[in-house]
Structure 1
Amino acid sequence: MFVRTESFKEFIRYYPVISTIIAIHIVLYLLTALPIFPPGWLMERFAGVNLYIVNGEYWRILTPIFMHSGFAHVLFNSFSLILFGPVLERMLGKGKFVLLYLTAGIAANLATLLIEPLTYIHVGASGAIFGLFGFFASIIAFRKDLLSNENKQLIITITVIAVIMTFMQSNINITGHLFGLLAGFLIGAATLKK
């Protein structure tokens, strides 16, 4: 279920939403890494900066979901999306998957705005990806029939490890991770109950 066997072309055809999100990640990362714009120009305009959000730059609630702070950051989040997103894109369909992903990411960023100081700056798809983990947790809680026992154990293990790692690494938006996870779970709870 979480092992990818498709060719590159098949993956793009089967999972167009995930492919588009990853393409956006890569393009934005390259635009920040290559000397196309002045250093920091894109980050200054699209990173989540709480002070700028409260002063009316509301797009910063959405744009941090697609921005990343370095190659390892974009690689890890894109790889996580490749592993765990396809199951949900197939299960939910393109529209509902986009809604889940963006809603979890926006919820994570809104929680960050409400809880963290005005000087707090954040980027990354982690809140949205934790939303996918939360949705899987709701499947395990409310619709056990949709996943095999092996996949349930894998999801629980990876989610627990991801939450633990959230608290063990520096420069992690703990608020974003936890509220993305919660948002994904609540979306699942609202939509999966029989």
Structure 2
Amino acid sequence: MFLRYERSIKEFMEYYPIVSTLVIIHFALWLIIDFLALPLGHTLESWGIGMNFLIAQGQYWRLFTPIFLHGDLMHALFNSFSLVLFGPALEQMLGKSKFLLAYFGAGIIGNIGTFFFGPLNYWHLGASGAIFGLFGIYIFMVLNRKHLIDQSSAQMVSTILVIGLIMTFLRSGINIYAHIFGFIGGFIIAPLVLSKAQPYSPWRNQRRRRRYSEGEIQFDPNRWRKKRWIPAKIRKNWLLIVIGILALLGLLRRFF
């Protein structure tokens, strides 16, 4: 379930548009807020960050908006990598609408837990609660829907969850409440979104693409006139290249 069979970034984005869009949003907001430090970025951060005091004043949108924001590049990279690793299988199994419900539902529950159990002056941001919600769904499958997850994937996700929970309490600066309640939220939402789910299969994507391709016009009379100024490898992996450049720029920024 967690091995990638896609041949390019373009193919990954075609199969998993929700996961791809969320990752793009993560890095676009980091670029605007942190790297370029645009006035718009400052406005987005000030209006989107989770602050318990302001939520208590009625700014309830802050239970939702922190899911998109991250403190720095490494924070965005880690959460985006986790989403790319654990999100695609669920996006295929649940479908776009249920995946969005599960992801944001768990994230909001994690932020609600932060609001009720965290200090009034506590502030937070990040997609960790939503990602731990995905773990909650997987663990529900391990315990109650064994036909939806193979044994090796069950062992892998259980091991990573244990490591993640240990690191939650050992590392400083982590929103423990969001991790715990995000996981609980995902576990609670799981029976709702898994009602008609089918086991993940990478071949299902390929069959869908084959049916789509067979319905297209196979011959383009002008195809030989089109000039490809960008090499094929770069076109196929442009998102990965952009992420790498952003990571390099973020690291260089620490020294200049």
Does the alignment reach a TM-score above 0.5? yes
Greater shift after overlay, 73-82 or 145-154? 145-154
What is the percent sequence identity of the aligned residues?
A: 50
Residue ranges of structure 1 left out of the alignment (5+ in a row): none
Instruction: Deviation per CA, 1:29-63: give whole Å up to 9, x if none.
Output: 11112132278443222100011111121111100
Aligned to 2:171: 169
Instruction: Choose 1 or 2 for highest CA Rg.
Output: 2
Residue ranges of structure 2 left out of the alignment (5+ in a row): 197-256
Question: What CA distance in whole angstroms lies between the structure 2 residues aligned with 1:188 and 1:35?
Answer: 39
Give, in angstroms, the shift of residue 189 of structure 1: 3.8
Q: What amino acid is aligned across from residue 14 of structure 1 in structure 2?
A: Y
Aligned to 1:155: 157
Question: What CA distance in whole angstroms lies between the structure 2 residues aligned with 1:38 and 1:184?
Answer: 33
Question: What CA distance in whole angstroms lies between the structure 2 residues aligned with 1:168 and 1:147?
Answer: 30
Contact (CA 8 Å) 1:134, 1:185: kept in 2 or not? yes
SS at 1:172 equivalent: coil
Question: What CA distance in whole angstroms lies between the structure 1 residues aligned with 2:194 and 2:40?
Answer: 46
Runs of 4+ in 1 over 4 A off after TM superposition: 190-194
Q: In the alignment, does 2:2 pair up with 1:2?
A: yes
Q: How many residues align?
A: 194
Greater shift after overlay, 180-189 or 8-17? 180-189
Contact (CA 8 Å) 1:48, 1:63: kept in 2 or not? yes
For residues 31 and 137 of structure 1, do their structure 2 counterparts lie closer, same or farther at Cα, with a shift above 3 Å needed? Answer: same
- 1:88 alignment partner, one of 84, 87, 90: 90
SS at 2:39 equivalent: coil
Q: What amino acid is aligned across from residue 121 of structure 1 in structure 2?
A: W
Give, in angstroms, the shift of residue 23 of structure 1: 1.2
SS at 1:2 equivalent: coil
CA RMSD of aligned residues (A): 1.6
Question: What CA distance in whole angstroms lies between the structure 2 residues aligned with 1:162 and 1:9?
Answer: 30
Query: In the TM superposition, what are the counterparts of 1:1-194 in structure 2 within 5 Å?
Result: 1-6=1-6, 7-33=8-34, 34-37=36-39, 40-192=42-194
Q: What amino acid is aligned across from residue 27 of structure 1 in structure 2?
A: A
For residues 192 and 35 of structure 1, do their structure 2 counterparts lie closer, same or farther at Cα, with a shift above 3 Å needed? Answer: closer
TM-score, normalization by structure 1:
0.95
Question: What CA distance in whole angstroms lies between the structure 1 residues aligned with 2:135 and 2:97?
Answer: 18
